[in-house]
Amino acid sequence: MVIFDKPHALADVPLHYCPGCTHGIIHRLVAEVIDELGIEGKTVGIAPVGCSVMAYNYFNCDMIEAAHGRAPAVATGVKRALPENIVFTYQGDGDLASIGMAETVHSAARNENITVIFINNAIYGMTGGQMAPTSLPGQITQTSPYGRDVNHCGYPIKICEMLSTLDGPEYVARVAVNNVKNVRAAKKAIKKAFENQVNGLGFSLVEVISSCPTNWGLTPEKALEWVESKMIPYYPLGVYKDRHADSNE
Amino acid sequence: METTQYLIAGFGGQGILFAGKFLAYKGLTDEKNVSWLPSYGPEMRGGTASCSVIISDSPVGSPIVSKPDILIAMNLPSLDKYEDSVAPGGIIFLDSTLIERQVRRTDVTVYRVPATQMASDNKIPTLANMIIMGKVLAVTGQFDDEAGVTAGLKKVISAKRSDMLDVNLNAMKLGYNA
Amino acid sequence: MADKVLMKGNEAIAEAAIIAGCRHYFGYPITPQTEIAAYMAKRMPKIGGTFLQAESEIAAINMVYGVASTGLRVMTSSSSPGISLKSEGLSYLAGADLPSFIVNVQRGGPGLGGIQPSQSDYFQATKAGGHGDFRMIVLAPASVQEMAELTVHGFDLADKYRMTSMILADGTMGQMMEPVSLDFKIAEPVEKPWATTGTQMKREHNIVNSLFLSPDVLERTNFERFKKYDTVCENEVMYEEYMMDDAEICIAAFGIAARVSKNAIVEARKRGIKVGMIRPITLWPFPEKQFAAAAEKVRAFISVELSMGQMIEDIRLAVNGKAPVTLCNRVGGMIPSPDEVLDAIIKVSEGGNN
pLDDT tens for C213-233 read 999 999 999 999 999 999 999
Is residue A16, in this structure, part of any structural domain at all? no
Cα dist. C348→B61, C290, C316 in Å? 22, 21, 16
Domain count within chain C: 2
Q: Do C63 and A74 touch (CB under 8 A)?
A: yes
Domain boundary among C235, C254, C281: C235
Q: Do A65 and C58 touch (CB under 8 A)?
A: no
Mapped onto helix, strand or coil, the DSSP state of residue C327 is: strand
Q: What is the CATH number of the domain that holds B66?
A: 3.40.920.10
Counting DSSP H helices and E strands in chain B, the numbers are 6, 6
Compute the nearest-CA separation of C16 from chain A (Å). Answer: 20
Mapped onto helix, strand or coil, the DSSP state of residue B116 is: helix
Spatial CA neighbour of B6 closest among B47, B63, B49: B63
Q: Which residues pair with A241 in a beta bridge?
A: A172
Q: Is the pLDDT of residue B144 over 80?
A: no
**Strands of the sheet with C74-78, listed across from one edge:** C50-53, C24-27, C74-78, C100-106, C164-170, C137-139, C282-284
Q: Do residues C291 and C170 share a domain?
A: no
Domain count within chain B: 1
Q: Do C197 and A103 touch (CB under 8 A)?
A: no
Distance CA B99, CA B76 (A): 5
Q: Do B28 and C179 touch (CB under 8 A)?
A: yes
Spatial CA neighbour of C238 closest among C127, C142, C321: C142
Report the amino acid identity of residue C220: R
Distance CA A227, CA A233 (A): 9
Distance CA A88, CA A193 (A): 10
The separation between CA C5 and the C-alpha centre of its own chain, rounded to angstroms, equals 23
Q: Do residues C198 and C244 share a domain?
A: no
Distance CA C151, CA C65 (A): 18
Predicted model pTM: 0.95
Q: What percent of chain C has pLDDT over 70?
A: 99
CB contact at 8 A, A218 and A24:
no
* Average pLDDT estimate for C122-139: 97
Residues A108-140: b if buried by 16+ CB within 10 A, e if exposed: bebbbbbbbbbbbbbbbbbeebbbbbbbbeebe
Q: Is the pLDDT of residue C353 over 50?
A: no
Size of interface B-C (CB pairs under 8 A): 65
Q: Do residues C99 and C209 share a domain?
A: yes
Report the amino acid identity of residue C110: P
Q: What is the CATH number of the domain that holds A65?
A: 3.40.50.970
* Average pLDDT estimate for B35-57: 82
Report the amino acid identity of residue B119: A
pLDDT at C187: 87
Is residue A8, in this structure, part of any structural domain at all? no
Parallel/antiparallel/unpaired status of strands B33-38 and B48-56: antiparallel
Is residue A15, in this structure, part of any structural domain at all? no
Question: Crossing angle of helices C34-43/C9-19, nearest 10°?
Answer: 40
pLDDT digits (tens, 9 = 90+) for C31-84: 999 999 999 999 999 999 999 999 999 999 999 999 999 999 999 999 999 999
Question: H-type helices in chain C, by residue range?
Answer: 9-19, 34-43, 57-69, 80-95, 122-126, 144-161, 171-175, 215-235, 255-270, 288-295, 311-319, 338-353
Distance CA C154, CA C145 (A): 14
pLDDT at A223: 97
* Chain A: partners with 3+ C-beta pairs within 8 Å: C
The ipTM of this complex is 0.94
pLDDT at C1: 41
Cis link prior to A19 (omega < 30° from 0)? no
Report the amino acid identity of residue C16: A
**Is A215 part of the contact surface with chain C (CB cutoff 8 Å)?**
no
Q: Do residues C251 and C284 share a domain?
A: yes
Maximum pairwise Cα distance, chain C: 77
Angle at A155 between CA C60 and CA A100, to 5 degrees: 15
* Average pLDDT estimate for A114-121: 98
Candidates C30, C42, C177, C265, partner chain B, best to mutate (most B CBs within 10 A): C177
Using the 8-state DSSP alphabet, how is residue C188 labeled?
P
Contacts of residue C268, Cβ cutoff 8 Å, sequence gap at least 6: C275, C342, C345, C346, C349
Cis link prior to C32 (omega < 30° from 0)? yes
C63 vs A contacts (CB less than 8 Å)? 73-74, 76-77, 80
pLDDT at C144: 98
Compute the nearest-CA separation of C260 from chain B (Å). Answer: 4
Q: Which domain holds residue A47?
A: 23-243
Report the amino acid identity of residue C41: A
Q: What is the CATH number of the domain that holds C309?
A: 3.40.50.920
B35 vs C contacts (CB less than 8 Å)? 176-178
Distance CA B176, CA C58 (A): 54
Angle at A63 between CA C160 and CA C218, to 5 degrees: 65
**Is A31 part of the contact surface with chain C (CB cutoff 8 Å)?**
no
Touch test B–C: 3 Cβ pairs or more under 8 Å: yes
Q: Do residues C72 and C203 share a domain?
A: yes
Is residue A12, in this structure, part of any structural domain at all? no
Distance CA C234, CA C218 (A): 24
Is residue A9, in this structure, part of any structural domain at all? no
Phi, psi of A217 (to 5 degrees): 70, 35
Average pLDDT, chain A: 96
pLDDT at A247: 63
CB contact at 8 A, B100 and B80:
no
Cα dist. B43→A157, B10, B138, C174 in Å? 43, 11, 31, 17
Report the amino acid identity of residue B117: Q
pLDDT digits (tens, 9 = 90+) for C103-117: 999 999 999 999 999
pLDDT digits (tens, 9 = 90+) for C303-337: 999 999 999 999 999 999 999 999 999 999 999 99
Q: Which domain holds residue C334?
A: 240-353
Q: What is the CATH number of the domain that holds C21?
A: 3.40.50.970
Q: Which domain holds residue B98?
A: 3-177
Query: SS3 letters for chain A?
Result: CCCCCCCCCECCCCCCCCCCCCHHHHHHHHHHHHHHHCCHHHEEEEECCCHHHHHHHCECCEEEECCCCCHHHHHHHHHHHCCCCEEEEEEEHHHHHHHCHHHHHHHHHCCCCCEEEEEECCCECCCCCECCCCCCCCCCECCECCCCCHHHHCCCCCHHHHHCCCCCCCEEEEEECCCHHHHHHHHHHHHHHHHHHHCCCCCEEEEEECCCHHHHCCCHHHHHHHHHHHHHHHCCCEEEEECCHHHHC
**CB-CB: which of C1, C172, C176 is closest to B28?**
C1
Q: Do residues C324 and C219 share a domain?
A: no
**CB-CB: which of C62, C200, C202 is closest to A67?**
C62
Is residue A249, in this structure, part of any structural domain at all? no
Contacts of residue B33, Cβ cutoff 8 Å, sequence gap at least 6: B27, B54, B55, B56, B57, B58, B59, B60, C179
Question: How does residue B159 score in pLDDT terms, banded at 50, 70 and 90?
Answer: confident
Question: Crossing angle of helices B146-156/B164-177, nearest 10°?
Answer: 130
**CB-CB: which of C24, C58, C196 is closest to A70?**
C58
C262 vs B contacts (CB less than 8 Å)? 61-62
Is residue A50, in this structure, part of any structural domain at all? yes
Question: How does residue B12 score in pLDDT terms, banded at 50, 70 and 90?
Answer: confident
CB contact at 8 A, A114 and A79:
yes
C62 vs A contacts (CB less than 8 Å)? 66-67, 70, 73-74, 77, 103
CB contact at 8 A, B23 and B5:
no
Q: Do residues C194 and C275 share a domain?
A: no
Spatial CA neighbour of A133 closest among A90, A105, A100, A84: A100
Q: Do residues C214 and C266 share a domain?
A: no
Q: Is the pLDDT of residue B45 over 60?
A: no
Domain boundary among C171, C204, C235: C235
CB contact at 8 A, C140 and C282:
yes
Q: What percent of chain C has pLDDT over 90?
A: 96
Report the amino acid identity of residue C148: A
CB contact at 8 A, C252 and C304:
yes
Q: Is the pLDDT of residue A249 over 80?
A: no
Distance CA C203, CA B37 (A): 54
Distance CA B63, CA B3 (A): 12
**Is C9 part of the contact surface with chain B (CB cutoff 8 Å)?**
no
Q: Do residues C69 and C215 share a domain?
A: yes
Domain count within chain A: 1
Question: How does residue B46 score in pLDDT terms, banded at 50, 70 and 90?
Answer: low
* Chain B: partners with 3+ C-beta pairs within 8 Å: C
Distance CA C71, CA A121 (A): 35
Spatial CA neighbour of B92 closest among B107, A248, C280, C287: B107
pLDDT at B126: 92
C67 vs A contacts (CB less than 8 Å)? 77-78, 80-81
Q: Do A62 and C205 touch (CB under 8 A)?
A: yes
* Average pLDDT estimate for A184-204: 98
CB contact at 8 A, C286 and C296:
no
The separation between CA A203 and the C-alpha centre of its own chain, rounded to angstroms, equals 14
Whether the CA torsion B152, B158, B159, B164 is positive or negative: it is: negative
